[in-house]
Chain A
């Protein structure tokens, strides 16, 4: 069942700007992951943050996790047209993932 709720549902930004999206969840987790999905394609794993971590970076991506608030955020810095996609958070309690509904990001050139 879907556990994550993402906010906003859609985001439109200018190339070069930063994009921030948020994910809230309801139950305990082992880790939280973010995935990207280009239109009509499969999902690509972006970054994983464990429940005992608070922040993680990977290239232009920055993820935070606040387990007390059961929330996470994904920041994409200096966005590019190629970042246009849907972004999903997924919570993991064991090895199964529960996905949020996603945030659709459009980067305008």
Chain B
């Protein structure tokens, strides 16, 4: 089945130790998104790739970076995680273009704990 996969599902890191979260998709969608969701809050868009074009949200901290080496994969790098970065990180994809309607397909999320 076509899907969005996130690895790992649970990630524990130490304060200040870089961490990378992974997302892959078999939907062949041209847009990939990263969201941060804290407990009982709305998902907050960090950035997205439209094809190879990177689009950062204005309020996303510099501590967060992303890479998209090909259509299928997208990575979220947190250079120096702080305690406030503990959250669920959600990857999503969508097919954008003529006739598309912006439905997004989400992965199961990676729960990040910062010690």
Give 17 A-B contacts (CB < 8 Å), ordered by A residue: A2-B42, A2-B44, A30-B102, A40-B88, A42-B109, A43-B104, A48-B101, A48-B103, A88-B42, A92-B102, A95-B31, A95-B50, A97-B45, A98-B45, A100-B42, A101-B41, A102-B40
Q: Which partner residue on chain A sits nearest B42 by CB separation?
A: A99
How many interface residues does A have (CB within 8 Å)? 27
How many interface residues does B have (CB within 8 Å)? 29
Contact A45 B103 (CB under 8 A): yes
Chain A residues in the interface with B (C-beta under 8 A)? 1-2, 4, 30-31, 33, 35, 40-45, 48, 50, 88, 92, 94-102, 104
Contact B48 A42 (CB under 8 A): no
Chain B residues in the interface with A (C-beta under 8 A)? 4, 6, 31, 33, 40-45, 48, 50, 59, 88, 90, 92, 94, 96, 100-109, 111
